[in-house]
Structures are given as C-alpha cells and as structure tokens.
C-alpha cells in the first residue's frame, strides 16, 4: 500500500495538526485492513520534498539523477515489527549521505548565493526530522484494538525543479509532462515497490485475525471495574450496618437514662454494689 503525504504541509503544521493528520490517515489504513483482512506493507512516500530550502540547488544539475536515485530507506523484514522506531536512525543516514553529496556539489563553480543554499540544505533537511518523525510515530503508534500497520519504508519524492503554474489555458498534455519529470519516483517503483510484489502476495495469503489482545484487555478491564464496584457496594452495605447498630445502641442507652430519671446507669450500679457490701 502506497501512502503519500505532502511534506510541505507537515513542515507548516503544529504538533496538534500533525497528530490530527496522522489520526485521519491511520483510520483509513485500519479501514482498508479490516475490510480486506490483509496486512499490507506500507510504503510511506513524502511528496513535495523540493519545498525544503536548498533542494532545488542540490538536485537540479541533472534530470537523470531523479530517475537513478531512491531517496529514502527500506526497512529490513526482520525488523518490521518495530519499523517505525527505526525512523530516526534511518533519517540520520539520509542526512549523512546528503552531507557527503554537499562536498561534491560545492566543488562546482556555482555563484556564492547558490553555494550557500547547497551548504545549508543538509541543515534544513535535518531540522525537518522532528515534525516528520512526530508524524511517523503517531501514524504507526501501536493500537491493541487493531492490527498494527507494517512500515516497509519511507521515501522522499519531488516535483520538477521549475514547476510551471497551471492556469485555465494549460493543456492536459503539459500537465502530463510535468508529472513525468518527478524526482526519485521511477526507481522507487521499479526497484523497490515492484520488486516486493512477491512480498505483497505473501501478505495477501495471511489473513488478519481478530485483535485478541484488544479484546483480552477489554475483558480484564471490565472484570477489574466490576470487582471494584462490587467491593465498593459491599463496603457501603457494611458501613450502613455499623451505623444502624451504633444508632440502636445509642437509642438503648438513651432509653435507660430516661427510665432512671436521667441518672447515669453506671453510677447507679456502683451505688448498688456499695450497699450490698
């Protein structure tokens, strides 16, 4: 399952908006999983990566470069259960590769302004990790009431460096040509997604079972709540009995005092014992 997200929108959103975006998208993934009963591998694609400052100057030297690169990370299958926790480490590797690339790009005779943008691009890319990572952690947060999505990898793609503005007079042919010049998509589909076709077939043969852990936790929670309520009810009943007994004892003592003309029955008993002696 290919899930595309506009990285520009993420970078311009606050934490609450990012969490809401992840919640809506996670709901759609869970809905597809429940309907098909198949746990699909998720290929998370962040589009519009050229919105990160410095991208245009760092990757604009050759259109072939956009076809021959995969800008992202594929998670090994043996680590699939906790793939979302590997995001930070994989992101660091991407940033390191960009920093190495920066040295080669700066060796070209670019104007100082462009060289400055190339130099700062790894820094801008690194600063995006917090928000992108926050989105990934919320999207793949474990939920005991649904099957956890399987993150196969995350990747960045970009539209053309010089994006023409689409107006009412633009033809559909021009629009198609613009889409065809996207960066980092061709090899992603050819060498990553299509190569995993057998993996997808394997997941199709593995039907998703009911969320046993979720129902088990629900049962345990219901049992604990019921036990608490029963204990509270019994305690209330016993306390009422003690109050009634104390009330009856008080009324009995009061009756004895009134019958003895308001004399203390203990004092009377002491006097009687003295006469007997």
Question: What does the pLDDT average to over 17-28?
Answer: 95
pLDDT at 105: 86
Domain with 63, as residue range(s), is 2-209
Asked which of 190, 209, 228 is the last residue of a domain, the reply is: 209
Q: Which of 128-142, 198-212, 223-237, 248-262 has the highest mean pLDDT?
A: 128-142
Same domain, 253 and 182: no
Same domain, 138 and 240: no
> Which tens digit of pLDDT belongs to each residue from 33-73?
888 888 888 999 999 999 999 998 888 655 566 667 889 99
User: Other C-beta atoms within 10 Å of 218: how many?
Assistant: 13
Yes or no: say if 50 and 161 are a contact pair by the CB < 8 Å rule. Answer: yes
Q: How confident is the model at residue 225 (pLDDT cuts 50, 70, 90)?
A: low
What's the domain count of the chain? Answer: 2
For the chain, the average pLDDT equals 78
Same domain, 134 and 261: no
> Which tens digit of pLDDT belongs to each residue from 76-130?
888 877 888 899 999 999 999 999 989 888 888 889 999 999 999 999 999 999 9
Q: How far apart are CA 121 and CA 139, in angstroms?
A: 27
Whether the predicted pLDDT of 222 surpasses 80? no
Asked which of 209, 232, 253 is the last residue of a domain, the reply is: 209
Same domain, 269 and 202: no
Same domain, 164 and 205: yes
Same domain, 70 and 196: yes
C-alpha distances in Å from residue 219, one per residue of 134, 164, 224: 32, 58, 9
Q: How confident is the model at residue 174 (pLDDT cuts 50, 70, 90)?
A: very low
Q: How confident is the model at residue 198 (pLDDT cuts 50, 70, 90)?
A: confident
pLDDT at 65: 66
DSSP code at position 38: B
Whether the predicted pLDDT of 211 surpasses 70? no
Question: What does the pLDDT average to over 154-176?
Answer: 57
pLDDT at 8: 94
Asked which of 209, 225, 243 is the last residue of a domain, the reply is: 209
Cross-strand partners of 42: 151
Q: How far apart are CA 9 and CA 269, in angstroms?
A: 91
Same domain, 14 and 151: yes
Same domain, 149 and 223: no
Task: Give the residue carrying structure tokens 């204990």.
Answer: 231
Reading the block at residue 49, the tokens are 């990566």
Same domain, 223 and 140: no
CA torsion, ordered 50, 55, 57, 58, to nearest 10 deg: -130
Same domain, 86 and 36: yes
Same domain, 198 and 225: no
Q: How far apart are CA 198 and CA 268, in angstroms?
A: 100
Q: What's the predicted TM-score (pTM) here?
A: 0.67
Same domain, 100 and 71: yes
């Amino acid at each position: 399952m290919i899930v595309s997200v506009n990285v520009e929108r993420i970078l311009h959103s606050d934490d609450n908006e990012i969490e809401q975006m992840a919640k809506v998208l996670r709901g759609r993934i869970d809905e597809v999983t429940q309907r098909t009963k198949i746990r699909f591998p998720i290929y998370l694609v962040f589009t519009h990566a050229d919105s990160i400052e410095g991208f245009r100057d760092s990757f604009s030297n050759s259109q072939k470069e956009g076809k021959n690169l995969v800008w992202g990370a594929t998670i090994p299958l043996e680590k699939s259960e906790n793939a979302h926790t590997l995001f930070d480490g994989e992101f660091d590797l991407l940033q390191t590769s960009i920093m190495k690339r920066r040295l080669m790009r700066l060796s070209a005779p670019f104007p100082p302004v462009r060289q400055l943008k190339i130099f700062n691009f790894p820094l801008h890319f690194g600063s995006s990790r917090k928000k992108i990572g926050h989105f990934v952690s919320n999207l793949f947060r474990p939920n005991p009431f649904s099957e956890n999505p399987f993150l196969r990898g995350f990747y960045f793609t970009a539209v053309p460096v010089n994006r023409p503005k689409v107006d009412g007079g633009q033809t559909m042919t021009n629009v198609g040509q613009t889409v065809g010049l996207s960066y980092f998509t061709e090899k992603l589909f050819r060498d990553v997604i299509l190569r995993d076709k057998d993996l997808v077939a394997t997941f199709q043969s593995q039907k998703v079972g009911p969320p046993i852990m979720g129902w088990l936790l629900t049962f345990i929670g219901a049992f604990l709540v019921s036990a608490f309520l029963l204990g509270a009810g019994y305690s209330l009943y016993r306390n009422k009995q003690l109050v009634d007994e104390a009330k009856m004892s008080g009324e009995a003592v009061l009756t004895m005092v009134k019958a003895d003309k308001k004399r203390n029955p203990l004092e009377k008993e002491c006097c009687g014992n003295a006469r007997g002696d």
